[in-house]
Chain A
Amino acid sequence: MFYSEAGQFKSTYEADAAVFPLRQDRIGIAVILVLAFVVIPLTGSNFVLSSVMIPILVFSLAAIALNILTGYTGLISLGTAGFMGVGGYACYKLTSVFPGINIVVHIALSGFFAAGVGVLFGLPSLRIKGFYLAVATLAAQFFLSWFFIRVPWIYNYNVSGAIEVPTRTFFGVVITGPNATPMARYYVVLGFVVVMTWLASNLVHGRIGRMWMAVRDMDIAAELIGIRLYPTKLLAFAVSSFYCGVAGALMVFLWLGASEADSFNINQSFLILFMVIIGGLGSLIGSFFGAAFIWGLPIAMRVAPEYLGLTINSATVEHLQFMVVGALIIFFLIVEPHGLARLWQIGKQKLRVWPFPY
């Protein structure tokens, strides 16, 4: 009733092919943006901003990255964390070599380094397919993990082997380093995520996105209709790794503040893969859902027993958390293999025809 296209007439093809054809959807997006930019920073505590919102946004970006590769192009990757690491370390090197240039520029630039590495490890993708390709990306993951430890040049020969984020400002506001306020960091991360999501949305809805999806659905058929497989797959690797790199740089500079090679281990890659699967393969909004769900669930599980007045020791909670996450993954796959994004769509469809069943 409230959510229906009745009375909204399209008079151009552009209007008909819009990403959000319904006025209500556009209002919804505006509300979400207002919430993200105004309401949450004003009402959220420092804990909410720095331990809930910033990680969720960073992981959303990483999940979008993996979604471009796995969800849209059908190339399974287990090396997400490695590519994120490339971004993080590249940004660190850049800002220590060129401290004069603004950090925001460096964060964006570090994506290109990750993209280069991603293309390099994407090279076998023409010949190797499916699960076999997962091993190529695992090679990337383990090689990069090793690289971050063994090549002291990338962490400026620090004795600890970890990197400490230097203090950097953006238009006079401290946004990185120990003195940055959570709100400043949140705004920078949010800005990056919004801009990059918008770019990704344009990419996947356009010609390039169609090419990727054709390759995902059946690569030989895609080749027959005139899509050049190799450039398409490599482009997917490049774009995905670019997003990973930026997410990694954001993670190191604006979330963690310090980092070591272990921040980018294989478990991180798996975590992002879970987010993509739970959220929905081939869906941008699903990436946000997945990140919020996987990151929010453990926090909720830590907080919930206190509200209920139960005292469970933290070790047990952690074990239960593993079990619940595992069981939920299976449960979601059984109930809705296409993830939370599909549930969202079903909900919208139901709302559209409400009060009638169809």
Chain B
Amino acid sequence: MDLLYQIFVDPFVQMVQVPDLFVQTLWEGLVSGVLYALIALGFVLIFKASGVFNFAQGIMVVFAALTLIGIYTQLRGWGVRPGDLAAFLALFITVGVMFVLAVGVERLMLRPLVNQPDIILFMATFGLTYFLIGLGELVFGGEPKVMIADDLHLPHGSIDFKILGGLVSLQKIDIAAAVIASIMVATLAVFFQKTRIGRALRAVADSHKAALSVGISLEQIWVIVWFAAGIVALATGIMWGARSNVSFALQIIALKALPVLILGGFTSIPGAIVGGVIIGVGEKLGEFYWGPLLGSGIESWLAYFIALAFLLFRPQGLFGERIIERI
């Protein structure tokens, strides 16, 4: 009885009694949700256009952030002043590196593996993950690095709101992350719906063969989506790096994008955002209000169970296309 009370009544009483804490937790959940959503967005882009479940998205985030910092440090070493010039130059070069990566992946990995079963392509991205981990550590070293947030003119500090009889403080960088994520999703949506390339991407997503037969170059499309995913990865890396450090541990956090993806459906960009927010908020609220009952740390698996619960009712995710099976 006491346990039931602790599970079903007590947390809600707490939420109502201390609303400012509730809002603060909600906000934190929202922010981490947005960051999960950014990683999930990279997954969705590639899955939509090529049917490849890109496991390497997480390491691409780390790799992009490390490249940015590495190039920045190099530029500063060569005497490029002032700092923000070097930072934006580095940003520019990093985008170039991500493009080279996209071309390389298409040439060396996707093209020889065309027409293989999904699981083989999935495994190939595992190989890519390992390769990038090794390359990243070899070139940039394994120790955590500080993101060059100031030189990129990212805001810092926090805004405090006095509401609900308490204090809610929002980090400016979190607000920036939310804004950037929204801009990115909007841009991608417009890109997919309104441009020629976007239309070609949707055609490829529908059917590779049909797209080929109307003269869409698969190779070109793949380079474009991997490049787009690379840019998304770069943005994610900057945002996440600004909140904590840039380290290879981020790659494990990227696994959190999987339940997000599942929840939203593999093929839906809005789904990635909604899924991210549900997972982020659910996880933080769960950890804060129900975690102590189980001995805390439940954040590590709660996300997967939330996704699982949703999946049992909608096997294709919230926004995914219906799975139709034929014999």
Would you call A198 an interface residue if the criterion is a C-beta within 8 Å of the partner chain's C-beta atoms?
no
A319-B259 contact given A150-B294, A274-B126, A330-B124, CB 8 Å threshold: no
**10 interchain pairs (CB within 8 A)?**
A128-B308, A129-B315, A136-B311, A277-B119, A318-B137, A322-B131, A324-B134, A326-B126, A329-B127, A334-B124
Interface string of B297-320 (1 = CB under 8 A from A): 110110011011001100111000
Question: Which chain B residues (92-133) contact chain A, with CB distance < 8 Å?
Answer: 108-109, 112-113, 116-120, 122-124, 126-133
Interface positions, chain A 18-57, Cβ under 8 Å from B, are none
Q: Does A142 lie within 8 Å of B304, measured CB to CB?
A: yes
> Would you call the interface of chain A mostly helix, strand, loop, or mixed?
helix
Instruction: State in angstroms the CA–CA spacing of A315 and B138 once bound together.
Output: 9
Those of A303-358 within 8 Å (CB) of chain B:
315-316, 318-330, 333-334, 337
Q: Are B308 and A142 in contact (CB under 8 A)?
A: no
| A149 partner residues in chain B, CB cutoff 8 A | 297
6 smallest CB-CB distances across A and B, nearest first, come from: A322-B134, A326-B131, A326-B130, A329-B127, A323-B134, A139-B304
Pair B138/A145 contact, Cβ less than 8 Å: no
Would you call A135 and B307 a contact (CB within 8 A)?
yes
Contact present for B131 and A131 (CB under 8 Å): no
Distance A136 CA – B323 CA, assembled complex (angstroms): 18
CA distance A220 to B262 in the complex (A): 22
B3 contacts the other chain (Cβ, under 8 Å)? no
How many Å from the CB of B205 to the closest CB on chain A? 16
Residues of B within 8 A of A194 (CB): none
Residues of A within 8 Å of B266, CB to CB, are: 131
Of B120, B127, B323, chain A has the most CB atoms within 10 Å of the CB of B127
Instruction: Assess the B134–A321 pair: CB atoms within 8 A.
Output: yes
B53 within 8 A of A: yes
Kindly list chain A residues whose C-beta atoms are within 8 Å of the C-beta of B109: 330, 334
- Spell out A's residues near B (CB within 8 Å): 76, 124, 127-132, 134-136, 138-139, 142-143, 145-146, 149-150, 218, 220-221, 224, 266, 270, 273-274, 277, 281, 315-316, 318-330, 333-334, 337
Q: Which residues of B contact A315 (CB under 8 A)?
A: 142
* A325 to chain B: closest residue by CB: B130
Cβ contacts under 8 Å, A139 to chain B: 301, 304-305, 307-308
CA distance A137 to B297 in the complex (A): 19
Q: Which residues of A are found within 8 Å of B122, using beta-carbon distances?
A: 131
Nearest-Cβ distance from residue B32 to partner chain A, whole angstroms: 16
A316 to B134, CA, bound (A): 9
Contact A326–B129 (Cβ < 8 Å): yes
Nearest B residue to A136 via CB reads: B308
Q: Name the residue in A76, A324, A334 with the highest tally of chain B Cβ atoms < 10 Å from its Cβ.
A: A334
From residue A274, how far is it (CB to closest CB) to chain B in Å?
7
Out of A130, A135, A221, A323, name the residue touching B130 (CB < 8 Å): A323
Query: Which residues on A sit within 8 Å (CB–CB) of B126?
Result: 270, 273-274, 277, 326, 329
Contact indicator B297/A329 (Cβ below 8 Å)? no
Is there contact, CB below 8 Å, between A150 and B301? no
Return the contact of A221 from the options B129, B296, B327 (Cβ within 8 A).
Answer: B327
Selected contact of B138 from candidates A131, A136, A319, CB within 8 Å? A319
A76: chain B residues at CB < 8 Å are 119
Beyond A76-B119, A224-B327, A277-B123, is A330–B131 a contact (Cβ under 8 Å)? yes
Q: Min CB distance, A162 to chain B, in Å?
A: 17
- B134 contacts A319, CB within 8 Å? yes
Does A143 contact B301, Cβ atoms closer than 8 Å?
yes
Measured between C-beta atoms, what is the minimum distance from A289 to chain B in Å?
A: 16
Interface residue? B258 (CB, 8 A): yes
Q: B304 to A326, Cβ gap below 8 A?
A: no
Tell me the bound Cα distance from A149 to B301 in angstroms: 13
Q: Are B130 and A128 in contact (CB under 8 A)?
A: no
| Chain B residues, CB < 8 A from A135 | 258-259, 262, 304, 307-308, 311
Do B297 and A150 touch across chains, with their CB atoms under 8 A apart?
A: yes
Instruction: Tell whether, in the assembled complex, residue B304 and residue A330 are in contact, meaning their CB atoms are under 8 Å apart.
Output: no
CB-defined interface of B170-203 with A at 8 Å, one 1/0 digit per residue? 0000000000000000000000000000000000
- Chain A residues with CB under 8 A of B152: none
Instruction: Give chain A nearest CB distance to B278 CB in angstroms.
Output: 14
Tell which of B116, B122, B124, B323 has the most Cβ of chain A within 10 Å: B124
Q: Which of B112, B119, B130 contacts A329 (CB 8 A)?
A: B130
A207 to B3, CA, bound (A): 47
* Alpha-carbon separation in the docked complex, A327 to B130 (Å): 8
